[in-house]
């Protein structure tokens, strides 16, 4: 509108875009992991570790210089850094200058022999490592909640579906194991990615370590030792043996791929929950004061599952960014990865974190309605009993083909009553009324016991939990005990 811009206070924090991931969804821990404070204090730790390693290997660096830097790790003047970056158009050099002013004694040796990617890429790898360390226990918490749920309902028959059409029976607990197994695959993928993650180390401008060779008078062994020592000081056991200017962006592809795959698991499970909520068989937690709809007071919308699906869908879409970025890193590197990485990596971890927090909350309080489940079984079980009826008649001396044709005709007649006239399924009434089935009339009720239609579902649940789930959960026993409290959400 004309003149509107004149009255806007652009300096107000509410006049600027703020990511919903930071204002509504992600945890404080994950937000800190991708914060400027974490990023730039990590840069300073890297400069300190580089100086320590260089000193150990003979360069003229003093303890006083290192101590001075250590005292200022978290004392970051963000305004001064922003002013410097405005002048230099270079974020790393801006922070070098600000750090040097705070540490005048150490100024000559800060960033010695390093390139921007020494702090940029190594910090990213530390953040990726710490992000995985935050996510993996959250996945384990979901696994634990679902395992308890599966155990509790392992023997409760439920209508199974294929093609979203009624199929043979399963159990509520057995269905939960299908979700569980996907999460076990995600935990394995995240753990492997975490174990495989290495450090870039001190590689120089194009990965050749030429600048460090100059510092150490072409002593190749010392340069290699420097690379290894910096890696150890930064908490990594392994380093990438070869790099260009950056660590290969294939690492980002692998990690975002794991998170994207986790997103698919979350979306699948929460889509199932939304379908089950529509059937009124299972619902997510719903607070007494929660409002499902502004217009329809009776509604109990599965909004938490919907939020999980929304976040997961964004997470899944980020994978193409990672693959595209890696594919265009020409030769030793191009800078068109930088802005994209800042968005993709942070949003992938924040989205995964947010979705898992909601899912932990959901799986802590799933509500099951056995009577509704039983009613739905009874509506479909008559048709599913056909094979049992045929076998019972054969045992009484009947002809299988004759019996099959009888049941085919009666089932089609009953189906017409349901679909064309909206009536109840009267298939069994038709069976009881047909003289042909007189030999098995006394057995029909027992032939319709739902527990006889679930196969080994309950045993499968027990075996799966003992053999597959428990060994994974045992790896997280301490952290799960320390986090054994309900997850409350800002719904």
Question: Does the pLDDT value for residue 397 go beyond 70?
Answer: yes
DSSP-assigned states of every residue in 106-154: TGGGTTTT--HHHHHHHHHHHHHHHHHHHHHHHHHHHHHHHHHHHHHTT
H/E element, 283: strand 282-283
d(CA 207, CA 218): 16
Query: Poorest-confidence range of 16-20, 43-47, 170-174?
Result: 16-20
User: b/e for 422-437, b at 16 or more Cβ within 10 A?
Assistant: eeebbbbebbeeeeeb
d(CA 306, CA 291): 15
Question: Does the pLDDT value for residue 481 go beyond 90?
Answer: no
Tell me the per-residue pLDDT of 134-183, one tens digit each, with 9 for 90 and over.
999 999 999 999 999 999 999 999 999 999 988 889 999 999 999 999 99
- Give the residue-averaged pLDDT of 415-429: 86
**Sign of the dihedral defined by the CA atoms of residues 177, 179, 181, 183, in that order:** negative
What residues are annotated to the active site? 163, 293
Q: What is the pLDDT of residue 491?
A: 45
- Give the residue-averaged pLDDT of 399-423: 89
Question: Does the pLDDT value for residue 288 go beyond 60?
Answer: no
Tell me the per-residue pLDDT of 207-254, one tens digit each, with 9 for 90 and over.
999 999 999 999 999 999 999 999 999 999 999 999 999 999 999 999
d(CA 233, CA 216): 20
C-alpha distances in Å from residue 81, one per residue of 40, 125, 156? 10, 23, 62
Give 382's pLDDT tier (boundaries 50, 70, 90).
confident
**Higher model confidence: residue 431 or residue 459?**
459
The 8-class DSSP code of residue 58 comes to T
Give 293's pLDDT tier (boundaries 50, 70, 90).
low
Domains of the chain: 30-109 (1.10.275.10), 116-286+298-369 (1.20.200.10), 386-447 (1.10.40.30)
Helix, strand, or coil here: 476?
A: coil
The reported pTM is: 0.89
């Amino acid at each position: 509108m004309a003149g509107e811009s004149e009255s806007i206070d652009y300096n107000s924090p509410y006049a600027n875009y703020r990511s919903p991931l930071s204002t509504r969804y992600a945890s404080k821990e994950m937000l800190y992991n991708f914060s400027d404070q974490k990023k730039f204090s990590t840069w300073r730790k890297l400069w300190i570790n580089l100086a320590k390693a260089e000193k150990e290997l003979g360069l003229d660096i003093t303890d006083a210089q290192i101590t001075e830097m250590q005292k200022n790790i978290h004392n970051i003047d963000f305004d001064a850094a922003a002013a410097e970056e405005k002048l230099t158009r270079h974020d790393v050099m801006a922070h070098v200058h600000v750090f040097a002013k705070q540490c005048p004694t150490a100024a000559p040796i800060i960033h010695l022999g390093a390139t921007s990617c020494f702090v940029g890429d190594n910090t990213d790898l530390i953040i990726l490592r710490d992000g995985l360390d935050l996510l993996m226990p959250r996945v384990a918490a979901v696994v634990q909640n679902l395992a308890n749920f599966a155990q509790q309902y392992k023997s409760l028959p439920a209508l199974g579906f294929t093609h979203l059409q009624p199929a043979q029976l399963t159990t509520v607990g057995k269905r939960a194991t299908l979700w569980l197994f996907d999460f076990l695959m995600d935990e394995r993928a995240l753990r492997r990615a975490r174990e495989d993650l290495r450090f870039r180390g001190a590689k120089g401008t194009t990965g050749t370590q030429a600048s460090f060779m100059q510092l150490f008078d072409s002593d190749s062994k010392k340069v290699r030792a420097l690379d290894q020592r910096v890696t150890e000081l930064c908490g990594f056991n392994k380093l990438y043996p070869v790099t260009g200017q950056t660590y290969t962006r294939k690492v980002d592809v692998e990690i975002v791929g794991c998170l994207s795959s986790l997103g698919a698991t979350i979306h699948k499970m929460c889509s199932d929950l939304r379908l089950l909520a529509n059937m009124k068989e299972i619902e997510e937690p719903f607070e007494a004061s929660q409002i499902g709809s502004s217009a329809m007071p009776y509604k109990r919308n599965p909004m938490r599952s919907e939020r999980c699906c929304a976040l997961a869908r964004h997470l899944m879409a980020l994978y193409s960014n990672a693959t595209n970025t890696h594919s265009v890193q020409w030769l030793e590197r191009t800078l068109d990865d930088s802005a994209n990485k800042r968005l993709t990596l942070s949003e992938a971890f924040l989205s995964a974190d947010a979705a898992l927090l909601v899912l932990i909350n959901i799986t802590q309080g799933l509500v099951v309605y056995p009577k509704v489940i039983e009613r739905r079984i009874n509506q479909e079980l008559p048709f599913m009993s056909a094979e049992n009826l045929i076998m019972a008649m054969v045992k009484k001396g009947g002809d299988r083909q004759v019996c099959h044709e009888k049941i085919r005709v009666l089932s089609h007649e009953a189906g017409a009553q349901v679909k064309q006239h909206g009536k109840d399924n009267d298939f069994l009434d038709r069976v009881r009324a047909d003289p042909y089935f007189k030999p098995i009339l006394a057995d029909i009720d027992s032939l319709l016991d739902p527990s006889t239609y679930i196969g080994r579902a309950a045993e499968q649940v027990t075996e799966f939990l003992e053999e597959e789930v428990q060994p994974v959960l045992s790896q997280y026993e301490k952290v799960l005990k320390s986090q054994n409290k309900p997850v409350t959400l800002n719904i």
